[in-house]
Amino acid sequence: MKDFFKSVLASILGVLISSFIIGGVLALLFFGFIGVLLSSSSDTFILKSNSVLTIRLTGIMKDRVVENPILELFNLGEAKEMALTDILSAIKKAKDNNDIKGIYISSGYFMAPSASLAEIRNQLSDFKESGKFIVAYADDYTQGGYFLSTIADKVILNPQGSLNLQGLSVSPTFYKGLLDKIGVEMQIFKVGTYKSAVEPFMLDKMSDANKEQVGSYINDIWSTLLGRISESRGIPVERLNQITDTLPAFQEGEFSVKNHLVDTLMYESEVRQYLKSLVGIKDSEKLNIASVTDMVTVGDSQKSKSSDQIAILYAEGSIVSGSKPTDINDRYLIKEIEKLQDDDNIKAVVFRVNSPGGSAYASEQIWKAVEDLKAKKPVVVSMGNYAASGGYYISSNASKIYAQPTTITGSIGIFGMFPNMAALTNKVGLTFDNVKTNKFSDYGDVTRPMSEQEKAILQQYVERGYKLFLSRCAEGRNLSLDALEKIAEGRVWTGKQALEIGLVDAIGGLDDALKEAAKLADITDYSIGEYPKQVSPFEALFRTQTDDIATRALKEYLGSDFHLLKTIKDIKDLKEQDFIQARMPYDLQLN
């Protein structure tokens, strides 16, 4: 009996201690969060004269980034997110601000698709019209960092650093062998010879059709990138390919100077002295630096105060059914579209689409909302890195479509996947029985294979969805169904290729789309509003989900292995996807 009471008392004490610890952690997080809020509200950046805008390239680039102090408190991972919109805005402000004398690009390890880098590169090219300098430096240039940095007046490399040029490759992971071993069969329903998102679940290597399309678009992207580098560095494209085939990342720094890839070799401390000389201050004086984040609070001299507004509506991520303000949730985004439709001050909308696709059903709902919006005011699509499959679906009926040369688009096709786990359940000794009232009452039972009649019904369903997808795109692009079918079939195209075949109207970025929207709305003076509105840090706290923390923890654990992180995320997403998908299979990053 004595031992029993000792055990109970120990348990009670354990609960009290645990409660105290958990309460302490929560209190620490709460007061830490309050501290972050107070510090962020009190810190206002004051731009000093003779300043240099510093663009530090590190982490992962997205169109927009919502600051979330609660995640920062966990201090997990170095893979921070960069906002493309903040970088573009900072460069625009720097061009017209007399206190900014030039731009310094510090290129680290980061992940960014080429279309985002092209957008920044174009903005830097516009900045150069001011006559101000641009200097680029890296300890080690990634391919993306080097592509962006070649726009600079002076490209500098650390004497012991490296410059990576190796070309592009796509290496999908195939799950079929693993699924066979554990006893899971993926029953596939698809339309489109090139619709390859299902291949990892039904093949152990790429199909010939998939190799054809992948080879086509990565070679087109690579030639576009080398063409821009060639223009800036004065090196013929043929020579750049020859240099690439020597793996310059493993050559000495002098190799990059000798081959005109960079202008000179310097340590970072020497670069700071060089920047001081360009600004016109003494070596002993402090160099005034303004970061991209600092520039958010700096006024924009070109900002209009007009009540007429052009709205930029951002749609970034996978397309899913739902109402949460994450990814592209159809019900949430449709509400935002309806607000823009009813706001008389908004004269036109630039729909910024950056999505590889997702739910076919959700894509159709968003398409209808865009159609209703277009009936009242012009809608111009600005394609980001991806506007493919479902991403193209929701873009297809815009008044005009702009894309970057390296945007990944098209992929007009749909598919469905349904697991059959009969072999797995047999392996572990599980058996099932069934009583039903109707022929298909047990439709959806993953413990048995589908009947031939069920397969036929589902294939017809997928084909009907494909025909709807085709008709939406044909109507939006003013193409005949016959003409569209020849370029559909799930095939992926670059923005440059899409322009040639009529899937987009012009090559350009956000600024080009804004100018076109103003032209269609017949306005010259207008302000710009961004939607959905960015949430406050307080709102971000309550939107923090366990998935956010888990993702940050995975990044910390996996380090720079983003491909493994993506594979884990892809497997997790399978259970959350709608049955019918309009999605492209690859995430092509320029690293």
Which helix (H) or strand (E) segment holds residue 199: the answer is helix 199-202
305 is annotated as an active-site residue? no
Identify whether the C-beta of residue 217 lies closer than 8 Å to the C-beta of residue 493. yes
463 torsion bin: left (phi>0), alpha (psi -120 to 50), beta (else): alpha
Contacts of 188 (CB under 8 A, 6+ apart): 198, 201, 202, 415, 416, 417
Question: Could you give the CA distance from residue 441 to residue 434 in angstroms, rounded to a whole number?
Answer: 10
Compute φ and ψ for 272, nearest 5 degrees: -60, -40
| The one-letter amino acid at 365 | Q
Question: Could you give the CA distance from residue 274 to residue 313 in angstroms, rounded to a whole number?
Answer: 41
Q: What is the largest distance, in Å, between two alpha-carbon atoms of the chain?
A: 89
Question: Could you give the CA distance from residue 340 to residue 335 in angstroms, rounded to a whole number?
Answer: 9
For residue 121, the 8-state DSSP code is H
Q: From the candidates 101, 195, 347, 374, which is the catalytic residue?
A: 195
Identify whether the C-beta of residue 179 lies closer than 8 Å to the C-beta of residue 395. no
Show the tokens assigned to 275.
Answer: 């920047």
For residue 407, the 8-state DSSP code is -
Q: From the candidates 106, 318, 359, 389, which is the catalytic residue?
A: 389
Q: 254 burial class (0-12, 13-18, 19+ CB within 10 angstroms)?
A: exposed
Question: Could you give the CA distance from residue 146 to residue 166 in angstroms, rounded to a whole number?
Answer: 12
Question: Could you give the CA distance from residue 60 to residue 424 in angstroms, rounded to a whole number?
Answer: 38
> Quick check: helix, strand or coil at residue 323?
coil
CB atoms within 10 A of CB 2: 6
How big is the chain by its Cα radius of gyration, in Å? Answer: 27
Could you write out the three-class secondary structure of 49-61? CCEEEEEEEEEEE
Return the closest-CA partner of residue 381 out of 473, 470, 467, 480.
Answer: 473
Over the range 475-512, which residues count as b (16 or more CB within 10 Å of their CB) and which as e? ebbebeeeebbebbbbbbbbbbbbbebebbbebbbbbb
439 is annotated as an active-site residue? no
Query: What distances in angstroms separate CA 463 from CA 261, 396, 470, 489, 525, one per listed residue?
Result: 51, 19, 10, 12, 47
**Block residue for tokens 């993953």:** 446
Question: Could you give the CA distance from residue 157 to residue 159 in angstroms, rounded to a whole number?
Answer: 6
Question: Cis before residue 532, ω within 30 degrees of 0?
Answer: yes
For residue 261, the 8-state DSSP code is S
Which helix (H) or strand (E) segment holds residue 110: the answer is strand 100-111
Catalytic site positions: 195, 389
